[in-house]
Structure 1
Amino acid sequence: MNQLKKEITLIGGIGQLSTTLLGTGLFMIPAIAAGIAGNATLWAWLILFIAVVPIALTFAALGKRYPNAGGTSYFVRKAFNEKMERSVAWLFLSIIPVGIPAGVALTGSFGQQLLPEPFSSPLLAQTLTIFLLTAVNLIGSKSSSRIQVMIALGICTLVSFLWVFGEVGTEDTVMPPLSVDALPSIASALAVMFWCFVGIEAFAHMGEEFKNPQRDFPISIVLGCLFAGFIYWACTVVILKFHAYGTAEMDTASIPWLSEKLIGNKASLLISLLGYLACFASMNLYMQSLSRMTWSLAKQNREDSKLTKISSRGVPANATLTLAIVLVLSSVAGELLHLDLEHLVKLANGVFILIYLFAMLAAYRLLTGINKCLAAVALTITAIVFICLQWAALYSVAVFLLLRLVPKRHTALGKNLNH
C-alpha cells in the first residue's frame, strides 16, 4: 500500500483547522492586540475577518480542485513547473529547524506545569511532547482529528465559562466609535493578529485524506476559520471588559489571570492543560503536514523509497519518525545554544507568508471566474502583509532564492534520503 487513507470527515477537518489556528495565539494575541489598540481591537478583528475570507476561500477552491498531500507545492506545480514546485516544497520543509522547535518549546512550557517537580524541565517536557505528537500522528488522521475536535470543544467551553462567570452582556460587545486617530493603532494590531490565521497552508496538505475532499475540504476551511475567529473575538471581549492587557505580564497571562479571577484558583490546572492541548493541536497539524510533504517529495524521486512507506493506518510512518528525530535534535540544540525563540518564530512567519504568496499566485493562474477574482484580492492582501514583515521577509526570500539556485543539490539530497 502506497496511498494515504481517506478518513477525515467534515467535523474532523473543522476541529483540526480551528485548533491549529487557535494554538498558542489564544493565550497571547488578544491581550497583545488589546494593548496596542484598546477597545478599537474589536474593529481590528472585524477587518481581519474580512481580509482572511478571500484567502480562506482561495485555499478552499484550490483544495477542492486539486486535493493532494503536496499542498501549496502541488498547486505551484500545476500553475508553473516542477522546478518551482520543488523549491516551494523545500521552502516549507525549511520551517522545521526554525519554527517547529519554537512551537514545541512553547507547548512544552505549558507541559512543564503539568509534570511532577523532579521531572519539570524544559527539555524533558519538549521531548515528551514530541513523543506524544509522533504517537498521535502514527495512529492515523481519523483518530488525530477526533482528538483535535475534543480540544476545540474544551477551548470553547473555557471561553463560555469566562463569559458566564464574567457576566458579559450585550453592552460589552458594542463596537466603539471609529475615528481616524485610531487607524494607526488598528493597523499595528493587525500586523500582530494576522498570525492567528497562519495554519491554513499546513491544512492544505490534508486534502488528499478527506473522505469527500470536493465537498468537505472547502467547508472545513471556511467553518474552521469562522470558529477560530469567533473564539478570538470572544476572548478579546472579556479581556477588554476586565482590562486584562497593557503589561508584559498580561501579554502571556491574561487568560490564566481571568480564569483565576472569575472562576477561582482551581482553574489554574485546567488552564495549563488547555494551554498545552491548544499548542499541541497546532503542532500536531504541522507535524502531519510536514510528514506528508516529506512523503510527497520522496514519492516523486523514487516510488520504492523507505520514506514513501505507508502504514496499515494509512500514515507515512517512516517520514513521521524521521521528522520526530529531527525535532528532538533541534530541541536539544535550541536548549544548548539558548536560541531566541521570538526571532525563530519571526523567521518562520516570513516563510509562512511567502508560501501563502505562492499559493495565491498559483490560484490566480489556475482558477477561473469568481474564484480568480477572490485569488486576486487574496494575493494583494498577502503581498501587503509580506512587505510589512521587513527583515523576516528578506530571510524567507533569501532561503527561496538559495533553493532556486541549487536545484540539482536538492534533488540529489532527496534521492539520498530515499536510500
Structure 2
Amino acid sequence: MTSTGTLSRAQGTALCVGAVLGTGVISMPALAADVAGPASLLAWLALIVLSAPLAGTFAALGARYPDGGGVSTYVRLAFGARAAAAVGWCFFFAVPLGAPAAAAFAGGYVADILGGGHTTMVGTFLVILGLVVTMNWFGLRISGRAQLWLTGTLAALLVVTVVAALPHARPANLTPFAPYGWAGVGAAAAVLVWGFAGWEAVSSLSGEYRDPRRDVPRATAAAVLVVGVLYLAVAAASVLVLGPALGDSPAPLADLLAAGVGGPVRVVTAVVAVLLTIGAVNAYLAGASRLGAALARDGALPARPVRTPRRSLMVVTAGSLVSVTLPISLHTSMLLVTGCFTLVYVLGTAAALKLLPPGWARRGAALAFVATLGLLVLNGRPALLSLVVAAAAVAYASRSTSPKIRIPSSSSAGSIAPKPNTNPVESLP
C-alpha cells in the first residue's frame, strides 16, 4: 500500500533512533553503574536483546495497522475501547512528565559549563522545548529532516568518543564485578528502561510513512541495530575507562571524551547532550501530538482541546511547563514515566499476540510480553502511577461514547477508518 505520508525510511529510522537513544546515552551509564557497578553491563545487554522483539512487535503492528493512535489503536482492535484508552492515557500523560526529566540531563551538562545550577537546567529545558514545538508545528516534513541530520551527526560523535577513549580502558575496572549483588542488575534494568523507551512513541507515526508496510519494519530494524551498537559501545567504554568514578559522574560522556581526547571537551559534550535531547523530545512530541488527536477521534479524550495534532501539541507543551515546576526528584520522575511506558508495552505486546498471525513476529511478541511484565515488577511502587492513570482512562471511556472503528483485514496494511488528519500544517488550531 502507498501512503500519502511524507516520512521517508531514512527519516523514520532517524526518529526511531532519536526517540530511543535520546538522553539515555548521556546519563544512563552512570545511573546504572551507581546501582550495579560493572555488572550493569549485563542489564545493558539484556535490554538491548529485549529491544529486538519489542521493536519488531511494534513494527509489525505499525506496518499492518498504520494509524496515529499507535499502540492505543492496536489495543483497541484487540481488547476494545477501555483498554485502548488506558494505553493512550499512559503514553499521552507520561510525555509531559518525562520531557523536563529528559532535558534535565542536558541541563546538567550545560550547567557544568555555565554554572547557574537549577536555573540553567530549567532554561535549557525551555530552549529545547521551544525548538521542538516549533519544528513539530510545521509538520513532520521539517522535523523529520532535522532529525535525520541530528541523528547522523550524533552517531558520528559517539563513535569518535568511544574510539578515542578505548585505548585508556583498564580490565581491572571490571572488578569487583557485582559490588551490590545480583539484585543490583535488576535495579539497573529498571533504571535503564528509561533509556530504551521510545519504540512505542514512533508507532504513532506509522501512518506518516510513504509506504508503511515496507518502510516501518525496515526503518525499525535499522534503528535497533544502530541503537544497540551505540548503547553497548558507550556503556562498555564508560565502565572500562572511568571505572569506579563512573557512578558519581554528573556528565559521564564528557568524562569519557576528556579521557580519550583531553583538553576542553565539555563544551562539545554539552552541545552533544543538548542535540540528543532535542532528538528525543522531538520524537516524543511528534508521536504524542498525533496520539492525542487519535484519542479524541476515538472518544478517549475530550475532543475540543486535542482534536488536531497542533492542539494536541499545545496540550502536551502546557503539561510539560507545569511538570517542570513539580517538587519531584529526577530519579522519581524517571521511574514514574518508565512505569507508564512499561504498562504500554505490556498491553501493546498482549494486543500483538491477538492481532498478529502465527509466525516469527508473534513469537517475538510473546517474548516481549513476558519480559515487559518482569520490567513492570522491577519498576516497583512508582509503577502504581500507571495503574492510577489507566483506571482514570477506563472511567472516562466508560462514560463517553466512542465512534465505531472499522478493523481492517489482517492481510491488509490499511489504516483504521475514519483516519484523522495527520498533517499538522493542514490541521489548523
Give the TM-score range, shorter chain: 0.7 to 0.9
Measure the CA separation in 2 of the matches of 1:287 and 1:74: 18
Residue in structure 2 matched with residue 288 of structure 1 by the alignment: 286
Residue in structure 1 matched with residue 141 of structure 2 by the alignment: 142
1:41-80 matched pairs, under 5 angstroms = 41-80=40-79
Identity of aligned residues (%): 26
Bigger mean CA offset, 231-240 vs 300-309: 300-309
Alpha-carbon distance, 1:245 to partner: 4.2
Residue in structure 2 matched with residue 196 of structure 1 by the alignment: 195
Residue in structure 2 matched with residue 322 of structure 1 by the alignment: 315
SS of the aligned residue for 1:353 comes to helix
1:364 aligns with 2:362: no
Residue in structure 2 matched with residue 312 of structure 1 by the alignment: none
Measure the CA separation in 1 of the matches of 2:24 and 2:358: 35
> Does the C-alpha gap of structure 1 residues 32 and 99 become closer, same or farther in structure 2, counting only changes over 3 Å?
closer
Measure the CA separation in 1 of the matches of 2:244 and 2:149: 29
Alpha-carbon distance, 1:407 to partner: 3.0
Alpha-carbon distance, 1:389 to partner: 1.4
SS of the aligned residue for 1:211 comes to coil
Could you report, residue by residue, the CA deviation over 1:359-405 in whole angstroms, capped at 9, with x for unpaired residues?
A: 01100111121222222111111111111112022221122123223
Alpha-carbon distance, 1:155 to partner: 2.3
TM-score if structure 1 supplies the norm length? 0.83
Paired residue for 2:259, among 254, 258, 261?
Answer: 261
> Does the C-alpha gap of structure 1 residues 36 and 339 become closer, same or farther in structure 2, counting only changes over 3 Å?
closer
SS of the aligned residue for 2:69 comes to coil
> Does the C-alpha gap of structure 1 residues 326 and 115 become closer, same or farther in structure 2, counting only changes over 3 Å?
farther
Alpha-carbon distance, 1:264 to partner: 2.7
> Does the C-alpha gap of structure 1 residues 346 and 167 become closer, same or farther in structure 2, counting only changes over 3 Å?
closer
> Does the C-alpha gap of structure 1 residues 28 and 135 become closer, same or farther in structure 2, counting only changes over 3 Å?
same
> Does the C-alpha gap of structure 1 residues 163 and 86 become closer, same or farther in structure 2, counting only changes over 3 Å?
closer
Contact 2:258 2:264 in 1 (8 A): yes
Contact 2:34 2:247 in 1 (8 A): no
Contact 1:102 1:344 in 2 (8 A): yes
Residue in structure 1 matched with residue 413 of structure 2 by the alignment: none
> Does the C-alpha gap of structure 1 residues 123 and 7 become closer, same or farther in structure 2, counting only changes over 3 Å?
same
Contact 2:18 2:283 in 1 (8 A): no
Residue in structure 2 matched with residue 400 of structure 1 by the alignment: 390
Residue in structure 1 matched with residue 154 of structure 2 by the alignment: 155
Measure the CA separation in 2 of the matches of 1:242 and 1:206: 38
Paired residue type of 1:298: A
Could you report, residue by residue, the CA deviation over 1:99-152 in whole angstroms, capped at 9, with x for unpaired residues?
A: 2332244444445568798x9744433322221111111222132122222222
Computed over aligned residues only, the root mean square deviation of the Cα atoms, in angstroms, reads 3.4
Contact 1:11 1:220 in 2 (8 A): yes
Measure the CA separation in 1 of the matches of 2:316 and 2:188: 34
Residue in structure 2 matched with residue 297 of structure 1 by the alignment: 295
Alpha-carbon distance, 1:183 to partner: 5.2
Residue in structure 1 matched with residue 367 of structure 2 by the alignment: 377
1:13-412 matched pairs, under 5 angstroms = 13-110=12-109, 121-168=120-167, 184-246=183-245, 248-250=247-249, 252-301=250-299, 307-309=306-308, 316-331=309-324, 333-334=325-326, 338-370=327-359, 371-408=361-398
SS of the aligned residue for 1:94 comes to helix
Paired residue type of 1:287: L
Measure the CA separation in 2 of the matches of 1:364 and 1:246: 44
Paired residue type of 1:362: A
Query: Number of aligned pairs?
Result: 396
Paired residue type of 1:196: G
Paired residue type of 1:278: L
Structure 2 residues without counterparts, runs of 5 or longer: 403-427
Alpha-carbon distance, 1:43 to partner: 4.3
Measure the CA separation in 2 of the matches of 1:319 and 1:394: 26
Measure the CA separation in 2 of the matches of 1:197 and 1:52: 7
> Does the C-alpha gap of structure 1 residues 191 and 304 become closer, same or farther in structure 2, counting only changes over 3 Å?
closer
Measure the CA separation in 2 of the matches of 1:36 and 1:50: 21
Contact 1:197 1:225 in 2 (8 A): no
Contact 2:169 2:237 in 1 (8 A): no
Paired residue type of 2:195: C
Contact 2:193 2:338 in 1 (8 A): no
> Does the C-alpha gap of structure 1 residues 188 and 89 become closer, same or farther in structure 2, counting only changes over 3 Å?
closer
TM-score if structure 2 supplies the norm length? 0.81
Alpha-carbon distance, 1:354 to partner: 0.3
Measure the CA separation in 1 of the matches of 2:131 and 2:378: 36
Measure the CA separation in 2 of the matches of 1:245 and 1:149: 35
Structure 1 residues without counterparts, runs of 5 or longer: 310-315, 413-417
Contact 2:95 2:285 in 1 (8 A): no
Could you report, residue by residue, the CA deviation over 1:142-172 in whole angstroms, capped at 9, with x for unpaired residues?
A: 3212222222222222222223333549997
Contact 1:162 1:238 in 2 (8 A): no
Alpha-carbon distance, 1:272 to partner: 0.4
